Every structure is written in C-alpha cells, then in structure tokens.
C-alpha cells in the first residue's frame, strides 16, 4: 500500500512539473511564434525578435529536461534567469515604441512561464519566482518610462497583463506546490500507519504467545495444586522440583520484556519450552540490552552447539545470553552425557568460536561471536 501511495506522490510531482513545461511550450509555439512570424513586418528589428524566440526555446528545453529527469528546476538558474529576462529586453527592443504594449511584444507576458519552470520545486522557489516576476514587471515599466508610454490606457493595459500573467503563473506554481505537499504528507502518514501496524502486529503476537504460555503454566499449576490437595507430600523431592520448575517459568514470563521478538532469543525460548515439557528444570536469566545485527550464518552457528546441549539435558539446564554492541555469547550448562566434546575450541567459518567443558556431570557449552575488528 505504501508503494502505491509513494508512486502516486511521485506522479503528482512529475506531472505537475511537466504541466508547467507543456503550458510554456504551447504558449511559446502557439502564441509567441505566431505573433513573431505573422507580425514580422510590424517589428522594428524582426530578426532580433526571432533570435529572442530561439533563446526562449533553448531555455525552455533546458528547464524541461531538468523537470523530466528530476521533477525539479535546474540546479543553477541564475544565468538562465538572466537570459530569460534578456529575451524580454530583446523583444522590447525589437518592437516599435508604439507597439510596446501591443500584440507584437509577446515576451513580457510569456517569460513568466520560464520563471515558473526554472524555480520549480527548488527550496526557495517562492522568493526566486517572486523576484523573477518582479524583474520582468520592472523591465516593462522601465521601457514604458523610457518611451514615454505613460498614458492612462497604457498603464491600464500594463496592469491587466502583469496582474493576469503573474496571477496565472504564481497560482499554478502555488497550487501545484500544495498538491505536492499534500501528496508527501499522505506518504508520511501511510508510512507511519504501516509502522504502527507492524508494531501492533508484533505486540499482538508477543501477547498471544505469552497468553499461550500462561495457559500452559496455569494447567501445570492446576495439576500440581490438585495433587497437593489430594494429599501429595510437599516434602517429596519430585513435588518440590515440579513447584520450582513452575515458579521459574512464571518468573521468566514476568521478567520478559522485549517489544520486538529477536530471532536468536525466540529460537532459544522455543528449545527451553521443549526442555521444560520434558520436565527439565531450566533457568534462564532475562536478556538485557540489544543484540547487535548479526552477519549471515552467525546466529545459526551461535545456537547450534548450545541447543544440542539443551536438547540433551537430563534434568537441569541453565541458558544465558550476553550481548554487547560488538559481541554475543550464548551458553548452556546442562547435565547431559550425549554431547560429543572437543578439548580444543571449534572455530566456525562465520567467526563463531565454540568451547566445551565437562565438570562433575555437567557440560558447559559456550559459543561466542565477536565483531571483527577493523584492520590496521
């Protein structure tokens, strides 16, 4: 679902950017080109107007390429913006003074779209676009002052074109920016919802697992209590061992506290439960801290020998896990006779080192992984 929403957000960004390019190109071909060629004779210097049209087209092509690739305006826009404003000046210079506000002077209404493309989705697009449009309006106003075109009708025409053009260009840029922002918000929200969902799912699984184990212990406790009520002797070593085993399982449940199940701990817990079903008395102090990320194969090598010792335990076992950011050590002390023991430490290819030690009917199996230290 997140992928779909992210794709929609990316499409919003891309197609609104290309929308600006399409408007500018259509305007430039449909209006600017038509006016330039059909009104060729009305220009004072038509070749200058044609050159300006070409420069405009080049700038638009560069900006379109950037929008196509990155859905954002070019990285460096200062030179391109100056060139775009030069197009404005060139077309004014190409026109006769009396046509300054006439149909032939196409540039001042249309370069604003170049500004929109160049500043598209840049970090400071509002300031940059406002400055560009203000410069465009200022150039036209200066030309009117220089040519003395300051009568009421001319000023009214000027205001209509400037306000109309600017409103369209700013409105399109701001509207698309809002759409883009909402789409990004939707992506963030979707990601947060997905994370919450994953957490909820994980918490539910842990909770369900605990309930299942509490149920199992409740059954064991119930049968013990019934046995005692029926006259079992509390001094009987078997009854006492069963009571101790039940208390240990309860204690472990109470002190467990990981929010996210770790695969190494989960695998160990599964074997601990299997041993307990075989009436093995297992002690396993709670694991603290966080396990580091383990490379491929390390977890299996860490678990293999200790789990074999645990599976072979006759009546009691102690399971411990020690972890630091650079080390994980898993150990089992159990009363097992079956496990083949080597005097020398076993070095696994994954870097895990396994050691065995037998003492007074018990075996201590310890596998340790240490994060390889960086070479000199």
Partner 1 sequence: MGQQHLGVPAARPVTVALVEDHQVVVDGVRSWFATPGPVELVAQGPTIESVLGTTADVLLLDLNLNGTMVVDRVAELCAGGQRIVVFSEHEEPETVRAVLDAGASAFIGKGRATRDSCLETILEVAADRPSVTPPMAQAIATDERPHRPQLSDKERAALLFWFQSMSKASVAARMGIKERTVRQYIDRARVKYAAAGRPAPTKEKLLICAIQDGLIRPEEVTVYTSLAARSGEEPG
Which residues here bind partner 1, judged by CB under 8 A? 248, 251-252, 254-255, 257, 283-289, 318, 320, 322-325, 329, 331, 333, 355, 357, 359-360, 362, 364, 366
Q: Give the ranges where 261-370 is alpha helix by DSSP (H).
A: 263-277, 298-311
Cβ atoms of 352 and 369 closer than 8 Å: yes
* Angle at alpha carbon of residue 271, lines to 325 and 329, rounded to 5°: 25
Report the alpha-carbon distance of residue 354 to residue 298 in Å, rounded: 12
Q: Closest separation between CB of residue 170 and partner 1, Å? A: 52
Nearest to partner 1 of 142, 253 (CB atom): 253
Q: Closest separation between CB of residue 65 and partner 1, Å? A: 51
Q: Closest separation between CB of residue 239 and partner 1, Å? A: 15
Nearest to partner 1 of 7, 290 (CB atom): 290
CA distances to 142, 323, 373 from 376, rounded to whole Å, are 69, 25, 9
Q: Closest separation between CB of residue 362 and partner 1, Å? A: 5
Cβ atoms of 303 and 364 closer than 8 Å: no
Q: Closest separation between CB of residue 252 and partner 1, Å? A: 8
Q: Give the three-class secondary structure for 142.
A: helix
Nearest to partner 1 of 10, 251 (CB atom): 251
Q: Closest separation between CB of residue 185 and partner 1, Å? A: 37
Nearest to partner 1 of 180, 308 (CB atom): 308
Q: Closest separation between CB of residue 166 and partner 1, Å? A: 57
Nearest to partner 1 of 30, 286 (CB atom): 286
Nearest to partner 1 of 147, 320 (CB atom): 320
Cβ atoms of 166 and 116 closer than 8 Å: no
* Angle at alpha carbon of residue 203, lines to 199 and 209, rounded to 5°: 145
24: phi then psi, degrees, rounded to nearest 5: -60, -45
Burial 171-200 (b: 16+ CB within 10 A, else e): ebbeebeeebeebeeebeebeeeeeeeeee
Report the alpha-carbon distance of residue 19 to residue 341 in Å, rounded: 73
Nearest to partner 1 of 65, 327 (CB atom): 327
**Could you count the other beta carbons within 10 Å of the beta carbon of residue 114?**
29
């Amino acid at each position: 679902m997140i992928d779909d929403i992210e794709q929609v957000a990316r499409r919003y960004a891309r197609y609104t950017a290309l929308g600006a390019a399409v408007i500018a190109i259509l305007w430039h071909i449909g209006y600017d080109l038509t006016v330039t060629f059909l009104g060729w004779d009305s220009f004072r210097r038509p070749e200058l107007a044609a050159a300006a049209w070409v420069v405009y087209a080049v700038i638009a092509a560069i900006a379109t390429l950037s929008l196509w690739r990155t859905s954002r305006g070019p990285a460096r826009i200062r030179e391109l913006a100056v060139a775009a404003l030069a197009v404005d000046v060139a077309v004014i210079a190409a026109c006769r003074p009396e046509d300054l506000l006439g149909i032939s002077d196409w540039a001042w209404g249309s370069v604003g779209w170049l500004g929109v493309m160049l500043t598209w989705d840049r970090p400071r697009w509002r300031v940059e676009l406002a400055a560009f449009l203000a410069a465009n309006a200022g150039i036209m106003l200066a030309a009117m002052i220089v040519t003395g075109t300051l009568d009421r009708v001319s000023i009214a025409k000027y205001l209509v074109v400037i306000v109309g053009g600017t409103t369209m260009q700013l409105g399109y840029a701001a509207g698309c920016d809002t759409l883009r922002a909402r789409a990004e918000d939707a992506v963030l929200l979707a990601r947060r919802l997905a994370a919450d969902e994953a957490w909820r799912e994980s918490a539910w699984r842990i909770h369900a697992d605990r309930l299942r184990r509490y149920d199992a212990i409740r059954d064991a406790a119930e049968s013990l209590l019934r046995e005692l009520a029926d006259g079992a002797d509390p001094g009987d070593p078997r009854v006492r061992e069963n009571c101790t085993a039940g208390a240990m399982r309860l204690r472990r449940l109470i002190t467990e506290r990981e929010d996210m199940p770790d695969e190494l701990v989960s695998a160990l817990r599964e074997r601990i439960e299997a041993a307990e079903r075989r009436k093995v008395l297992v002690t396993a102090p709670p694991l603290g801290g966080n396990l580091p990320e383990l490379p491929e194969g390390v977890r299996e090598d860490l678990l293999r020998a200790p789990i074999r010792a645990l599976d072979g335990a006759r009546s009691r076992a102690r399971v411990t896990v020690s972890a630091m950011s650079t080390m994980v050590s898993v150990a089992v002390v159990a009363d097992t006779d079956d496990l083949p023991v080597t005097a020398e430490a076993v070095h696994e290819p994954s870097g895990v080192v396994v050691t065995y030690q037998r003492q007074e009917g018990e075996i201590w199996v310890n596998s340790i992984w240490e994060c390889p230290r960086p070479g000199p």
